[in-house]
Structure 1
């Protein structure tokens, strides 16, 4: 078989064949096409889409923010009373709600209409730029609260309140409407105003208490709130007394008492229609004069040296002064164990309502120091409970070795007669 030369032809190094050149060109075209497509997609994403056809203009929307309504019970630190057959209900006046979007059509120049009999002259002292309109209508300032210039009445330094009472025989309900208060004293020196609200209580029971909302920064608040009491018969109203307490709200401390108004219904004729009344605000709870006695307290003491214990029995009190508008008091007694003038322990009796001669009959046990009763004393405080303001001290008594003649004699008797109950009357002091 003849020999065959299988060797490839001699191709010089450094030269490209036609197949290699074609492959490079195809790859370059493909890369260029991919790059162009990528750039086109990126351009389309960044550019907003343009709809075909005529462009329709979207109507603009106006968004308004609703004003939050503050809760009227936030001024009040007191919880709502429990429901009862005589529990009152309260109705508020309907506020005026303006339109959310309403152009201001008021003219920059307004016309003031003077009242009749004033010779059409403007009094600068009574002018209020927010209380007139183009037609001279002052209804805008009559709702809510009166921010006009306050006129101080010398005959009524604490102001006055206006209210009305009505009894509906068909429904057997008693209604009290608190309209407003005028010329209240200033309680906030920084703003020259006060934050008043009114509490109402039906005496003598003191069970049904209601209150108005707090109006901010005004001396002439307008409430227009109606309170309805159910379950009262018409013949029972003759023994009912309305007790209004005008308060000033204080965010950081106890609310201040402006004054009170006491209205017995025995002199009010409710047989036909509602009766409107205006009463002057009086100072609340004047202090007991020094000439009047504070009453007396009967206590019993027993010393047990083996156990180093002292038994104190608060028996009763008599001839206490009148602390309430009803002519009575709501007394209770606090007992303090004193050692070298310092209070070590405190206890108190139950509350006795509407009495000037309470009977307690309560016993308390105190642990005394090991050295005995030499430097020990017992302090008694008789207080009058008050739901509206802080409790007031009716009188106090200290029984010990270094106290008054009666207290020193009583203390010496229990020291020389251990394990024996010794009772004695003591007069209360300021």
Structure 2
């Protein structure tokens, strides 16, 4: 088996139908949309997010490249508090925080569930969003009250407009009063670019804000994002007090609803980070070109094309935008001859790789014994560590008659692989979960 030199592919940006949100996806294209959304604890955040166009396949089997620049534009909102207070005093912890999002129960056209986690593993968690590695003034007061807000998506500007109207009957911190403000994040990004805050309202349990926040985000990314709205009591020069939160999975939001809706504030609960089963989504396309399929005896041997398009909502241990890349191997060959990788995409939770790996030397029968392993890595300085990955194979647990641990593909991964084998010389598209439970293999 030989490997081909790889390049990146230049593509245009299609804008498909707005918010084509489905609860279940068919297996023809092997698409899987598990919600792998997360959130971080309140601290001084440090990174910004990159957003990129979605590439489209081209018919040429040759691998082509274009260096793609990620860009992000975010409108800054007024964060001034009353009486000249510009920002609340937030504790700056060395240990950052993360969280996994929960779905929202249905109320007045809003699909909303405050008691069920939405990860593919299927475990159930109560409360609102699950906080990881968090510390601070949580649980000082009993969470109560509700918040009114509305969501509108501007298709021309590709902006999400979040309007925070008011809160009612929130918890009191000091003698039947609080100094509340509302903070929002578009998760899993918890950087300063994602953080937006209302003004602080003094001495009230029923604050009125009427402030609108704008997030620059593409239509295709909305289904992998979660909006977090949290209410805090401002304490100058000290840790602020958590008063409750609401989370909205944008994949489940009813976009025909533009009027203000009330939602009850929820407490925050803690979750062990080892419970994370998914680190985001990976979008890719694959095809197999049999030997001689193009005529004139070409190609000389079968070719496997793996087009890594992008990742969405990458969840790192420290949260926020990260530097990432993808490695690929065609097992059972785990040598350098088989290994390939994309360029490093910096400071993005939804990076565009736009990179195609080509492997030749295949016969059709080899595909049922082989496995394409793709792993997503985070680079921090001179070190890199794996976030998770996917394995594309027939999932039989055996290769050439021997039991192997790496033939552990999920149902969605098996569907993509077999669909590629059964449709030679045709691109097969898929969106798969970047899972963390890949069985260990010997190098």
Considering the TM-score relative to the shorter chain, is it more than 0.5? Answer: no
Range class of TM-score, shorter chain:
0.3 to 0.5
Greater C-alpha Rg: 1
More helix by share: 1
Q: TM-score, normalised to structure 2's length?
A: 0.34
